[in-house]
Amino acid sequence: MSLLADEAQVVDLGLRWTPGFRALGPAFYTELRPRPLPEPYWVGTSAAVARTLGLDPQQLDTPEALEAFTGNVLLAGSQPLASVYSGHQFGVWAGQLGDGRALLLGETASGQEVQLKGSGPTPYSRMGDGRAVLRSSIREFLCSEAVHALGIPTTRALCVTGSDAPVYREEIETSAVVTRVAPSFIRFGHFEHFAANARHEELRQLADYVIERYYPACRESTRFGGNAYAAFLEAVSERTAALLAQWQAVGFCHGVMNTDNMSILGLTIDYGPFQFLDGFDPRHICNHSDTSGRYAYNQQPNVAYWNLFCLAQALLPLIGDQQVAVAALESYKTVFPAQFESRMRAKLGLASAEEADRALVDGLLRLLAAEKVDWTIFWRRLSQHVAGDSATLVRDLFIDRTAIDAWLKDYAERRARNNAPDAGAQIMLRSNPKFVLRNHLGQIAIDQARQKDFSGVARLQALLESPFEEHPGHEDMAGFPPDWASSIEISCSS
């Protein structure tokens, strides 16, 4: 087998490509082919994502698709490339990074970029091997689809393929390739790259491309005296604020919020050491490599703002005025709390806002934190209580019953003033998922997959694709984490 996907070996699944990102020109990327992996096998596929690409899900059952989405043959018409970006990692300027193990196959006619992750080294691999291991690829695949089903903006995942080709991390593991799909994989770090290198023409070209494609209203905006770049920064800030409010409400910890892992479209991107909270601990750190807790759960909203500040600095040559750039970030400080409060009201089933709601939420969060009550189970049980069940299951989660009883009394009084009391339970059952991708659930599916049994991945995927449904018979996937869950250590190594 040759080292690069053979030019002669092309399969046509019917995907048609538009120039998209590659039209920006070679200053933004390096063209290269994926590097094949021996004897690939399917690990997981998403019929829903296939359909968004205009593929018949059955096409994913074919050996041609298996080879194509492993990078062993090219999809007809695709011209793969690795893009260059830079970024701040853990608060420190890291210089040039780039797609070190991802290749953009192209953008489909339906406006979706398709990317292989784990398809071999690129000029941006630095010391890395360009590969992704099975465990982290399964986590990315399942979590992309889970986060999407929760209604949170995210990159999607079409499929994961595996190969027994060894990959060397802390121990020897095996390889996998995730096919990711998003309208754009452009990150804050792409802008930082051209700003840091004083390449202002390319910086402008990139900003103009992103505005034209994804933020066209900024061209017409009269905000900031008609400064489209400032309006763009403000729009990115607002999307990011809305994203963070959703993460916080569902208890999602990203784990590596470096500026190169921040989507310019406000999508959840680059699933690594992420975690959905088990017990509610505001200072929870999910990334074993994050010794200082920079990316702890309760730090995420501030870190996102810090990252936006880096983006503002990168856009400064285009915005032209420091004060305008700072002003364009201001709305983050109002949009995030407003969005978070609105999400929390939905979790409480409150259809309208009252001044005292903040105190009600703060009081609850204090109680949950004091006893590290399970975040997902608490909210689901509270929803069921409001839907008509007794409060016992909620009270049972607390040792300090007096405190939770007092809170439940205030909550009942508040609900009595709610505009639409009957609607409350329905809002809650649509806002508080029964199923989230807890670390231990992913781990069980991964352990099975390592034995070539992919049924656990498929079962978990099916539940996570409709996380607000009851799914009778799958209670084991909605329970408390076992004791061993807290000993799972997930680091940046993937």
Residues of this chain that interact with Mg ion (CB under 5 A) are 261, 270
CB of 269 to Mg ion, least distance (A): 8
**Is 192 a binder of ligand AMP (CB under 6 A)?**
no
- Comparing CB distances to ligand AMP, the nearer of 125 and 313 is 125
**Is 254 a binder of ligand AMP (CB under 6 A)?**
no
Choose from Mg ion, ligand AMP, none: what does 331 bind? Cβ within 5-8 Å by kind: none
Choose from ligand AMP, Mg ion, none: what does 128 bind? Cβ within 5-8 Å by kind: ligand AMP
The set of catalytic residues is: 260
CB of 264 to Mg ion, least distance (A): 14
> What is the bridge-based pairing of β-strands 86-89 and 92-96?
antiparallel
Residue 205, judged by CB atoms within 10 A of its CB (0-12, 13-18, 19+), counts as: middle
**Is 186 a binder of ligand AMP (CB under 6 A)?**
no
**Is 256 a binder of ligand AMP (CB under 6 A)?**
yes
- Comparing CB distances to ligand AMP, the nearer of 161 and 418 is 161
Among 34, 130, 251, 266, the residue binding ligand AMP under the rule CB under 6 A is: 130
CB of 125 to ligand AMP, least distance (A): 4
Cα–Cα distance, 341 to 364 (Å, whole number): 13
Among 72, 155, 261, 339, the residue binding ligand AMP under the rule CB under 6 A is: 261
Which positions from 64 through 123 interact with ligand AMP, judged by CB under 6 A?
97-101
**Is 125 a binder of ligand AMP (CB under 6 A)?**
yes
Choose from ligand AMP, Mg ion, none: what does 123 bind? Cβ within 5-8 Å by kind: none
**Is 173 a binder of ligand AMP (CB under 6 A)?**
no
> What is the bridge-based pairing of β-strands 10-11 and 74-75?
parallel
Cα–Cα distance, 166 to 392 (Å, whole number): 51
The letter for the amino acid at 185 is F
Which positions from 464 through 493 interact with ligand AMP, judged by CB under 6 A?
492
- Comparing CB distances to ligand AMP, the nearer of 48 and 492 is 492
Residues in the chain: 494
Choose from ligand AMP, Mg ion, none: what does 272 bind? Cβ within 5-8 Å by kind: ligand AMP
Task: Spell 266-295 as b/e; 16+ CB within 10 A means b.
Answer: bbbbbbbbbbbbbbbbeebbbbebbeeebb
Task: Spell 444-454 as b/e; 16+ CB within 10 A means b.
Answer: bbbebbeeeeb
- Comparing CB distances to Mg ion, the nearer of 102 and 105 is 102
Question: What Rg, from alpha-carbon coordinates, does the chain have?
Answer: 23
Residue 30: CA count within 13 A, CB half-sphere = 15
- Comparing CB distances to ligand AMP, the nearer of 207 and 269 is 269
Which positions from 264 through 303 interact with ligand AMP, judged by CB under 6 A?
270, 272
Cα–Cα distance, 460 to 12 (Å, whole number): 31
Closest CA to 439 of 136, 192, 161, 174: 136
Among 14, 111, 128, 166, the residue binding ligand AMP under the rule CB under 6 A is: 128
Question: Which tokens belong to 402?
Answer: 């007096």
Cα–Cα distance, 234 to 328 (Å, whole number): 5
Element (H, E) at 84: none
Point out which residues bind ligand AMP (CB under 6 A): 97-101, 124-125, 128-131, 256, 261, 270, 272, 492
